[in-house]
């Protein structure tokens, strides 16, 4: 009999640091919570008496709302720290903010930060659990978990699926977390972008690299299309929006060459008319809004598991 896996980690910092069994545990728990969020009464008492703080140093719509709602659906108390109107603006460090929040007896800090590694630093400074809601270009673990959950719902498995991640790979924490997660399950991952947006050495993570968009979508079971992060183009090397659309955007025309049932994903927010046409974003192959719904179930699973972690 295989040893039953139990959740033992205080924090969720990235998929690089999780085993396949731990990821499976989250995806299984998310299945149960998906059922909960479709009930007439969508609330369970699993986190009654616990407090979750959302500490977002970068803008967010989906992730922040989703974590807030996940905590509320689990009956936790939730506090959203508005960084713009907090003492962060007076120069308080992340660690000091985290320690002060923790002094109020909170259980979980969900943090999004523009610096890679910020959640790791915070996790070392506080006893509360820390969940990474996206750090710099490093990882966005709950986005990849919800992407994997969505793929598993569609295909019944992740093994041997052909997944192409298309777009601004260089600046994408979503791409990195997806690569760590999907390759642990034996999926075949291809990354596709203009040369300038492919990080050097990415193939060492076990992915295929191409600059040919038609090749990336031809055999794919699913494509995960990333937002072009023009705000990160400090040296002015990005292609123009029009040029990018012409050469790399997912359009109905391009999808004619793909498998009929190809699944089209995007973590959001979408730049319509840049990386994807509106017809595709809202078309029959798109699962973009299903991803958002699944994100709620996945984040409930993560909050549940880290607050019920067993000692190793
Ligand atoms: N996918 C994602 O992280 O979206 P937000 O930036 O709106 O949270």
Residues 155 and 229 occupy one common structural domain: yes
Kindly state whether residue 3 falls inside one of the protein's structural domains. no
The ligand 1 atom at the shortest distance from the C-alpha of residue 59 is 6
Reported confidence tier of residue 32, pLDDT bands at 50, 70, 90: very high
Reported confidence tier of residue 3, pLDDT bands at 50, 70, 90: low
User: Averaged over 49-74, what is the pLDDT?
Assistant: 97
Kindly state whether residue 7 falls inside one of the protein's structural domains. no
Kindly state whether residue 179 falls inside one of the protein's structural domains. yes
Query: Which residues lie across from 132 on neighbouring strands?
Result: 111
Residues 172 and 58 occupy one common structural domain: no
Residues 152 and 88 occupy one common structural domain: no
Question: Could you give the CA distance from residue 198 to residue 182 in angstroms, rounded to a whole number?
Answer: 18
Q: Is the pLDDT confidence value at 180 over 60?
A: yes
Residue-wise pLDDT tens digits, 252-308: 999 999 999 999 999 999 999 999 999 999 999 999 999 999 999 999 999 999 999
Question: Could you give the CA distance from residue 212 to residue 266 in angstroms, rounded to a whole number?
Answer: 19
Kindly state whether residue 88 falls inside one of the protein's structural domains. yes
Q: Does residue 267 line the site of ligand 1, with CB under 6 A?
A: yes
- Specify the number of domains making up the chain: 2
What pLDDT does residue 5 have? 80
Residues 249 and 187 occupy one common structural domain: yes
**By residue range, what is the domain housing residue 56?**
15-139+293-307
Residue-wise pLDDT tens digits, 10-28: 999 999 999 999 999 999 9
Kindly state whether residue 6 falls inside one of the protein's structural domains. no
Residues 179 and 273 occupy one common structural domain: yes
Tell whether residue 138 is among the known ligand binding residues.
Answer: no
Residue-wise pLDDT tens digits, 192-239: 999 999 999 999 999 999 999 999 999 999 999 999 887 777 777 788
Residues 271 and 286 occupy one common structural domain: yes
- What does pTM read for this prediction? 0.96
Q: Is the pLDDT confidence value at 184 over 80?
A: yes
Q: For residue 163, how many C-alpha atoms fall within 13 Å in the half-sphere facing its CB?
A: 33
User: Averaged over 159-182, what is the pLDDT?
Assistant: 97
- Dump the DSSP string for 219-283: S-SEEEEPPP-GGG-TTS-SPPHHHHHHHH-B-HHHHTTS-TT-EEE--S---BTTTB-HHHHTS
What pLDDT does residue 59 have? 93
Q: 177: CA distance to ligand 1 center in Å?
A: 14
Q: 310: CA distance to ligand 1 center in Å?
A: 30
Residues 234 and 298 occupy one common structural domain: no
Q: Compute φ and ψ for 205, nearest 5 degrees.
A: -85, 5
Residues 68 and 207 occupy one common structural domain: no
CATH of the domain at 210: 3.40.50.1370
Q: Over the chain, what is the mean pLDDT?
A: 95
Kindly state whether residue 169 falls inside one of the protein's structural domains. yes
Tell whether residue 229 is among the known ligand binding residues.
Answer: no
What pLDDT does residue 296 have? 98
Residues 109 and 224 occupy one common structural domain: no
Residues 170 and 255 occupy one common structural domain: yes
What pLDDT does residue 235 have? 73
Residues 185 and 278 occupy one common structural domain: yes
Kindly state whether residue 1 falls inside one of the protein's structural domains. no
Q: Does residue 54 line the site of ligand 1, with CB under 6 A?
A: no
Instruction: Decide: helix, strand or coil at residue 95.
Output: helix
């Amino acid at each position: 009999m295989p040893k039953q896996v139990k959740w033992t980690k205080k924090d969720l910092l990235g998929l690089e640091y999780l085993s396949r069994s731990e990821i499976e545990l989250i995806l299984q728990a998310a299945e149960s919570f998906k059922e909960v969020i479709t009930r007439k009464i969508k609330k369970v008492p699993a986190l009654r008496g616990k407090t979750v703080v959302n500490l977002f140093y970068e803008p967010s719509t989906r992730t922040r709302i989703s974590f807030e709602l996940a905590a509320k659906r689990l009956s936790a108390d939730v506090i959203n720290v508005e960084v713009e109107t907090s003492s962060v603006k007076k120069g308080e460090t992340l660690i000091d903010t985290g320690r002060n929040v923790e002094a109020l007896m909170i259980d979980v800090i969900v943090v999004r930060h523009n610096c890679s590694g910020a959640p790791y630093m915070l996790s070392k400074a506080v006893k509360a659990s820390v969940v990474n809601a996206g750090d710099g270009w490093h990882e966005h673990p709950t986005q990849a978990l919800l992407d994997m959950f969505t793929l598993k719902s569609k295909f019944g498995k992740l093994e041997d699926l052909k997944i192409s991640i298309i777009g601004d790979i260089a600046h994408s924490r979503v791409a990195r977390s997806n690569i760590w997660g999907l390759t642990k399950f034996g999926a075949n991952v291809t990354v596709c972008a203009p040369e300038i947006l492919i990080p050097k050495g990415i193939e060492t993570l076990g992915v295929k690299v191409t600059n040919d968009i038609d090749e990336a979508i031809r055999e794919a079971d699913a494509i995960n299309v990333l937002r072009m992060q023009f705000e990160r183009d400090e040296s002015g090397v990005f292609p123009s929006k029009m040029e990018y659309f012409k050469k790399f955007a997912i359009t109905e025309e391009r999808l004619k060459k793909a498998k009929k049932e190809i699944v089209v994903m995007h973590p959001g927010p979408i730049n319509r008319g840049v990386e994807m046409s509106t017809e595709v974003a809202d078309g029959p192959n798109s699962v973009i809004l299903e991803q958002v719904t699944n994100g709620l179930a996945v984040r409930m699973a993560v909050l549940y598991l880290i607050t019920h972690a067993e000692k190793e």
